[in-house]
Structures are given as structure tokens and as C-alpha cells.
């Protein structure tokens, strides 16, 4: 029950503790029965001749162990036959015990006051009284028994306290869980267990309190302290009490033995401990777990070597208290989780009683024996960790998931977006993945750059739900989540169905996240002519090698075991797209996605050359080579604007710094490249940038890059364009058609138009910038961060804009093109 309520970790650890409690409890009752037998039929150890004819049994440690072994074998015999024999035997014993209880209650009123001789073991020292009194109902006797007056336990020689008396007394109440232990053998456990348990509690409470009151009014303190079998001496017929004690103890011993075997069988059947308990699964033809019974009996036999009842009483009590505290914890957790299916039929149930039960059990555990209590809790926690890491995943449901949901919902409501502050900004990333088999390097890299923020893997599948029989995405979630587990990343998965990729990305940007946890950064793979390359992700691919479809058009010999639908196509056989080469996303739509994200005030990151990125290999270069991360915080496609402190440049610096803060990237060195022209103050620009980095607490090497020759290419071509524009403007005005003039412009000569301060750059200039970046990277960096300009306002120039980015990043290796739209850095307190 605890496993199904709290999960296998708690259930397995508490279950094992409960099993041990029942084993020790069985031994406790067996020793109690032996003690009762020897007090009646045993020859006192200090006497060689019996004081009465019925004292015929020799006493001593080994004799007591022999008698206890015989009683345990009797319990084993009954339990091996089966639960039905035990139930019949228990019912007969119940009738006997009820009859004996009636005679005991009658005896308090029917027996006259008398002097009772104490057992010889109760007065070992000279001067100790040898007799005590049964006074009958007297007020003086009651007054003498009202307050505590703890003395030595004459069976063990230890001083008794409230805790030790409680430990012994508590074992008389543990039988109330017997019905729960046998839930598998009951016809209607959901009906029988609650009614039987509550009835047992009430009945036990009434009987014990009546006995306490009657004993306190009729027996003096000396009798209670020096003779544990005094009820026999005051009964109307002495053998009645002997029969009752024997019956109740043998019943309790069998109850604990059969309960322990059923708990062990449940643990084995759930495979919580793997093959260790595999033998305990075996049952007879009637379903009796006979191997579990034998194992339980063997452990009981080991506990019997302790020899004394009060020696193990405290251990048994601590184990049971720990189990009861766990049951209270299970109910409390279900109540606090507000699980709709938790509907207790007990009308007086409340979480307050659960808390009181847990606190009470914990206090009494440490009062009884702090060392035993601490050791048992530590042992339980050790079992919990072992089961958590070694046991297979179960389908029972975990209370932790319900509690996490409840708490996360509460804290999400408290996470107010209106209270966001730039000081606590962190990247919350939506990474669009077309083919996850080809994006392993990128997925793991973005996991490093998220800095404890939200990370969502997004995927768009084309389709119309109205034409489909069911949602095709539901069957794909397991594969995506298995990928997340396999890569060991902290990410969510969000899939959507749309008529186009652009609309799908819009859906995800609108709906991903919840409350204050929504993506603020969109990451896209770069759009080029290379098809995705399937990387080996064991166990997701059955092929032994990956295939580079950019350089080799060979297909995988074996299809992947888990198929992920691709946006742009993959190396699977049947992927075809309307744009050729397996693509279902055109350049126009791709740039439109970038533009849409910026309109929605989302930061945009384009990633290129991450197909072959291997994080482990990249961060473990030869000993002679260091790891570098290069940052170019200037808009290289706007050479007339050399600002290093605009929002986008600072966003670039922030992401690079975040990457450098990750444990695996801490040894990487940041290199910041400062592009300068002749005639400008190089030292002044460098000092100003260095001061900015100091204020932002960013450690980076600042390198100045002269780029006069590169900029000259831009201005030479720019002046030619201005003259051409004047001529074309006059012609187009004369014809009365500005649109036709624009359409006739040669896209090979210029590739971009910005919404304001339009600047055009030539292919020669872009190639020169590309060579400049490559020449300055000595030694080459692991990753580059470049400035991503906004897409042009004129949608007809989207294709040219994309070609411009391709020329800029040609052969640069893993590169991030980044455009930030929101401030992320501040020096204010």
C-alpha cells in the first residue's frame, strides 16, 4: 500500500523495515510464551529440586532457546499449511482469549484480598520482600499506583523508565495491522481492513484501560513490579490465565510470522530488490508463498538468540513506530497533493491527525532509544537511495510527482512577470528541432547555454487535424522524452501540428511555457544546402555508423528504431519535400520565422555547423591547445555602424559569458575582437571596451582588428550603387513604375535592404569579412558568436538576406548568429 501511495522507494524501504518489525515481533511473542511457560512449569535456576510437582522443565539460556525453537516450528507448520488454517486457528484462539478475559474481570470482584508469594527471581538481594498484597478495591491502593515509581526489571536487571515501559507495552498494540498484512487473502479488503482495524483499536483501547484501572485499584505497587504473572494468582482458577497467555502469544506470533512472509512476498513480487529476493516469489498450488514463510522463520530463529523479551522489545517498537509514521506520511502526502482520487471513506480523516501521528511516533522512537531510532532511520534512507537508483521504473505512480505538481502550480502563480528585473534575467530557450538524430550536438550545446533557465525542444509536424483520425503527435512524445533522458539534458518537449512550419513556430512561441516561465529566445538551425546528418544515438539507431548526407548521398542501411518526423528531411528513404533535397521549408518562410520572432520581442539565435559538434571532443583538445570562444560584437554587415554597446552586442556578450560560467566551459578563454579603422583612436576604443567589460564583470581578451581594407571594399561599391540608384530612379519615375525598377535590380550586386538607413554590402565585402574572421582566429576557436542583423523590411529581399548570412559564415565552424531585442545587462544596483 505504501509503494502504491508514495512510490517504490518509500514502499520498498518502509516495507523492508515492516518485514523486520514483524520478524522481531514474532520472536518477541515466542519469547513471551516461553517466559510464561517457564514461570509456571520451569525449575528455578537457583534450585535443584522443584518447589511444586508441576515444575518439571529445566531452565537456562539454552533450554529457553530450545523451547522457543519448538514454538517457532509450530508457528511455521501452521503458516506453511496456509492462511485458511491460520484464520480458523485464530478464531478459536479469539474465543478462548475472550473467555479468559471475562474470568479475569470477574476475578477482580470475586477474589478476596490475599498475600501472594513473589517468584524467587524477584528477590535476589537480602532484605527484599518475598510477598506482596492483592488488596481488593481500596482507595489507598489506587493512590499508591497513581504516580511513576520506576524500579529495576527483575528479568534483565536494568532500570525501567517511561520509554522502556512504553516500548514493552506498545507491542501489545501492534496486532491491529494484522488485517492489512493479510489483505491479499481477504475477500473484500477495502471493506474489511478499515472496519476491522478501527474495531481492533477501539476494542484494544477499552480492554487495556479497564485492566489498568482494575489493577491499579486492587494490586499494590510491589506486586506489579516483582511479579509479571500476578493475574494468574488472583484468578478464580489459575489455569485460565495460563491458557489465555499461551493462546494470545501463540496467536500473535503466528500473526507476525504470516504477516512477515506476506510482506516479503510483496517485496519480491514487485522486484524492488532485483534478483536478491527472486526465490521469495515462489508459491504453492494454493498460492501460499512457502519460500517467504521459510525465510521469515529463519530470521525469527536468529532473533531468538537474544534470549530476553525486554531486550528486543525496544527494537520491535521502534520498527513499528517507523512504519506507522510512514503510513501517516503516506496519508498526509496524498492529502497535501490534493489528488482528486484520494477520497478516504473514514469521515473523520484530517491531515492534522496525520501530523500528530508522525510527530508522536518520532518523539517516542527517540525517547525509547535515540541510537536505535537514528540507526533505523539511517538504514531506511539508505534503502530508499538504493531502490531509487537500482530498481526499475514502475507504473504505480509516484506521490512525489503529485506533490511537485501541486507546489509548482503554486509557485508559478507567484512568479509574476510584472516583477521581472534585468538583474535576474536568464535565457529561456525554445530550440526548434527538425530531425533530432542530426541535432545531437546542438541540443547538448544549447543545454549548456541555458543557465538554469527554461529549455524547450520544439518540433512542428505538418498536417491538418480535421483530416486525420487522431492526433499523430501523442505517439511521438515517448520517443522525444527518451531522447531527453538519453542525452541527460534538462529540457521540456513541445510538439505542434500546423499547416506550415511558420505557423507552427508561431504557435510554439505563443503557447510554450506557463506564467513567468516562457521562452524569450528562439534558436534555429541554419538554412543551407546541406541535408541533416544522422548521428548515432544508441539505442535510438540500430545502424553502426552515421551517414553524412551533405558529402555523401548514401542512405542508412537500417532505419532508426525510433522514427522522428523531420522538418527539412533526413536520410530516411521516404522523406521528400516540395523544395527539393527533402526540404519542406523554403528560404522565404525561414527568414519570415526570424522576422516573426523579433516582432514578438524574442531574441533570435541562428546556429551553423553544429552537425559535427561533439562537446566532449571540443572541450578535451590536445594538452598543447587551449579552448577559445570568439565574440564579434559588431554588426559586420553594417560597417558604417561600429557600436559595441547596443542591445544586441550586449546580448552577445551575456550569452558568451553564460557559456563560460558553465562548469565544462570554465577553462575556455573568451576573445573579444575590436574592429578599428585607421585614424580612429585604437587605444581609446580598447580602453573604453575594457572599462565596459570591467563594469560588467566579464573576463575576456580584447583583440584589435584593423579592417581598413575590408571597409574600403564596401565604400567603393557603395558609391557605385548610389550613382546607379539615381539613374534607375529617374528611369522608373519616367515610366511611372517604381516596382518594376526594383524588380530589375541585380541581386548579385547587393543583397540586403534595412528598414532604416539602408546599407548594401557586396559579395566581395562579405567574402573579405569572412576571410578576416578566419585569419584572426589563431588558434581556431571552439565556437564563434556573431552579430545577427534584422531581416529586411522588404520581404522580396529575404532570399538575398539569407545568402548574405551564408557568405558571412562560410567555413567558420560552429557559429552562433545572435540578435538580442531585450536588455539583459545592467551595472545599476
Structure confidence by residue, pLDDT tens digits, 238-284: 888 888 888 888 888 988 898 889 888 888 888 777 777 888 888 88
Q: How far is CA 679 from the centre of its chain?
A: 61
Enumerate the H helices of 512-599 as residue ranges. 587-599
- What per-residue confidence (pLDDT) applies to 722? 52
pLDDT average, residue stretch 150-170: 82
pLDDT at 78 over 50: yes
Cβ neighbourhood burial of 531 (10 Å; 0-12, 13-18, 19+) = buried
- What per-residue confidence (pLDDT) applies to 251? 87
Sign of the alpha-carbon dihedral angle for 6, 12, 14, 18: positive
Average pLDDT, rounded, for the chain:
79
pLDDT at 736 over 70: no
Cβ neighbourhood burial of 678 (10 Å; 0-12, 13-18, 19+) = exposed
- What per-residue confidence (pLDDT) applies to 53? 72
- DSSP code for 534: B
Q: How far apart are CA 792 and CA 802, in angstroms?
A: 10
- What per-residue confidence (pLDDT) applies to 580? 47
- What per-residue confidence (pLDDT) applies to 129? 79
Q: Is the pTM of this model over 0.75?
A: no
- What per-residue confidence (pLDDT) applies to 644? 67
- What per-residue confidence (pLDDT) applies to 310? 66
Count Cβ neighbours within 10 Å for each residue of 556-566 and write b for 16 or more, e otherwise: beeebebebbb
- What per-residue confidence (pLDDT) applies to 624? 64
pLDDT average, residue stretch 642-650: 76
Domains of the chain: 1-46+54-390 (1.20.1740.10), 426-534+577-607 (3.40.50.620), 614-722+757-828 (3.40.50)
Reported as a single tens digit per residue, the pLDDT across 210-242 is 999 999 999 998 888 888 888 888 888 888 888
pLDDT average, residue stretch 597-605: 94
Reported as a single tens digit per residue, the pLDDT across 6-25 is 677 777 888 888 888 889 88
pLDDT average, residue stretch 394-411: 78
Q: How far apart are CA 412 and CA 131, in angstroms?
A: 73
Helix (H, G, I), strand (E, B) or coil at 778: coil
- What per-residue confidence (pLDDT) applies to 344? 78
Reported as a single tens digit per residue, the pLDDT across 526-585 is 987 776 666 645 444 433 333 333 333 333 333 333 444 444 433 333 333 445 455 678
Higher pLDDT pick, 555 / 460: 460
Q: How confident is the model at residue 332 (pLDDT cuts 50, 70, 90)?
A: confident
Torsion angles phi and psi, residue 367, rounded to 5: -70, -40
Amino acid at each position: 500500500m505504501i509503494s502504491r501511495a508514495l512510490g517504490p522507494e518509500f514502499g520498498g524501504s518502509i516495507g523492508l523495515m515492516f518485514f523486520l518489525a514483524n520478524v522481531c515481533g514474532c520472536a518477541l511473542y515466542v519469547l513471551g510464551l516461553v517466559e510464561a511457560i517457564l514461570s509456571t512449569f520451569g525449575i528455578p535456576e537457583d534450585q535443584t529440586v522443584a518447589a511444586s510437582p508441576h515444575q518439571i522443565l529445566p531452565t537456562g539460556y539454552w533450554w529457553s532457546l530450545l523451547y522457543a525453537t519448538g514454538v517457532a516450528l509450530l508457528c511455521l507448520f501452521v503458516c506453511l499449511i496456509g492462511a485458511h488454517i491460520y484464520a480458523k486457528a485464530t478464531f478459536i484462539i479469539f474465543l478462548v482469549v475472550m473467555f479468559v478475559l471475562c474470568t479475569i474481570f470477574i476475578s477482580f470482584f470475586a477474589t478476596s484480598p490475599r498475600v501472594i508469594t513473589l517468584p524467587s527471581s524477584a528477590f535476589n538481594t537480602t532484605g527484599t520482600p518475598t510477598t506482596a498484597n492483592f488488596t481488593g478495591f481500596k482507595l489507598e491502593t489506587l493512590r499508591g499506583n497513581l504516580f511513576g515509581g520506576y524500579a529495576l526489571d527483575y528479568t534483565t536487571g536494568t532500570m525501567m523508565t517511561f520509554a522502556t515501559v512504553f516500548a514493552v507495552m506498545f507491542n501489545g498494540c501492534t496486532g491491529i495491522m494484522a488485517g492489512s498484512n493479510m489483505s491479499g487473502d481477504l475477500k473484500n479488503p477495502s471493506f474489511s481492513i478499515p472496519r476491522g482495524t478501527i474495531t481492533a483499536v477501539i476494542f484494544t483501547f477499552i480492554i487495556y484501560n479497564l485492566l489498568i484501572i482494575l489493577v491499579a485499584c486492587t494490586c499494590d505497587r510491589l506486586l506489579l513490579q516483582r511479579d509479571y504473572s500476578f493475574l494468574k494468582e488472583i484468578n478464580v482458577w489459575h489455569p485460565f490465565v495460563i491458557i489465555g497467555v499461551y493462546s494470545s502469544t501463540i496467536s500473535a506470533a503466528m500473526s507476525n510470522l504470516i504477516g512477515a512472509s506476506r510482506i516479503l512476498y510483496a517485496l519480491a513480487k514487485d522486484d524492488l530488490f532485483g534478483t536478491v529476493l527472486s526465490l521469495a516469489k515462489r508459491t504453492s498450488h494454493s498460492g501460499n508463498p512457502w519460500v517467504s514463510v521459510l525465510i521469515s522463520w529463519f530470521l525469527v530463529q536468529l532473533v531468538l538468540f537474544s534470549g530476553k523479551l525486554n531486550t528486543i522489545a525496544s527494537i520491535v517498537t521502534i520498527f513499528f513506530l517507523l512504519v506507522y509514521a510512514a503510513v501517516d506520511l503516506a496519508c498526509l502526502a496524498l492529502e497535501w497533493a490534493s489528488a482528486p482520487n484520494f477520497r478516504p471513506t473514514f469521515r473523520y480523516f484530517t491531515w492534522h491527525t496525520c501530523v500528530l501521528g508522525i510527530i508522536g511516533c518520532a518523539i517516542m522512537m527517540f525517547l525509547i532509544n535515540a541510537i536505535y531510532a537514528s540507526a533505523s532511520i539511517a538504514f531506511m534512507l539508505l534503502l530508499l537511495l538504493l531502490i531509487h537508483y537500482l530498481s526499475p521504473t514502475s507504473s504505480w505512480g509516484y506521490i512525489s510527482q503529485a506533490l511537485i505538481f501541486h507546489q509548482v502550480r503554486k509557485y508559478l502563480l507567484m512568479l509574476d512577470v510584472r516583477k521581472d528585473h534585468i538583474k535576474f534575467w536568464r535565457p529561456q530557450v525554445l530550440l526548434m528541432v527538425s530531425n533530432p538524430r542530426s541535432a545531437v550536438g546542438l541540443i547538448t550545446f544549447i543545454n549548456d547555454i541555458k543557465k538554469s533557465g527554461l529549455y524547450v525542444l520544439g518540433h512542428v509536424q505538418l498536417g491538418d487535424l480535421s483530416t486525420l483520425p487522431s492526433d499523430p503527435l501523442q505517439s511521438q512524445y515517448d520517443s522525444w522524452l527518451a531522447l531527453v533522458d538519453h542525452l541527460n539534458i534538462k529540457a521540456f518537449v513541445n510538439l505542434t501540428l500546423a499547416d506550415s512550419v511558420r505557423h507552427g513556430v508561431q504557435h510554439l512561441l505563443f503557447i510554450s511555457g506557463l506564467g513567468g516561465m516562457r521562452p524569450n529566445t528562439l534558436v534555429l538551425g541554419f538554412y543551407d544546402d546541406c541535408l541533416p546528418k544522422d548521428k548515432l544515438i544508441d539505442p535510438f539507431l540500430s545502424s553502426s555508423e552515421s551517414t553524412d548526407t551533405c558529402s555523401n548521398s548514401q542512405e542508412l542501411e537500417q532505419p532508426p528504431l525510433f522514427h522522428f518526423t523531420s522538418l527539412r528531411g533526413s536520410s530516411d528513404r521516404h522523406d521528400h519535400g516540395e523544395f527539393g533535397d527533402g526540404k519542406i521549408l523554403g528560404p522565404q518562410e525561414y527568414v519570415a520565422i526570424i522576422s516573426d520572432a523579433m516582432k514578438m520581442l524574442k531574441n533570435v539565435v541562428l546556429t551553423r555547423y553544429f552537425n559535427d559538434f561533439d562537446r566532449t571532443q571540443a572541450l578535451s583538445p590536445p594538452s598543447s591547445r587551449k579552448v577559445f570562444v570568439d565574440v564579434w560584437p559588431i554588426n559586420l554587415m553594417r560597417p558604417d555602424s561600429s557600436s559595441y554597446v547596443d542591445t544586441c552586442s550586449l546580448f552577445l556578450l551575456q550569452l558568451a559569458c553564460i557559456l563560460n560560467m558553465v562548469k565544462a566551459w570554465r577553462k575556455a578563454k573568451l576573445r573579444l575582437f575590436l574592429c578599428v579603422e585607421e585614424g580612429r583612436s585604437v587605444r581609446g576604443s580598447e580602453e573604453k571596451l575594457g572599462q565596459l567589460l570591467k563594469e560588467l564583470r566579464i573576463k575576456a581578451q580584447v583583440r584589435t582588428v584593423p579592417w581598413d581594407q575590408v571597409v574600403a571594399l564596401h565604400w567603393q561599391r557603395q558609391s557605385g550603387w548610389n550613382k546607379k540608384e539615381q539613374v534607375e530612379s529617374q528611369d522608373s519615375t519616367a515610366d511611372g513604375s517604381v516596382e518594376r525598377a526594383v524588380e530589375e535590380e541585380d541581386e548579385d550586386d547587393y543583397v540586403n535592404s534595412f528598414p532604416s538607413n539602408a546599407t548594401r554590402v557586396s559579395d566581395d565585402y562579405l567574402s573579405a569579412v569572412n576571410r578576416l574572421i578566419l585569419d584572426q582566429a589563431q588558434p581556431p576557436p571552439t565556437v564563434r558568436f556573431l552579430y545577427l542583423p534584422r531581416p529586411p523590411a522588404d520581404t522580396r529581399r529575404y532570399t538575398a538576406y539569407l545568402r548574405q548570412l551564408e557568405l558571412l559564415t562560410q567555413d567558420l565552424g560552429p557559429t552562433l548568429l545572435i540578435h538580442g531585442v531585450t536588455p539583459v545587462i545592467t551595472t545599476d544596483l
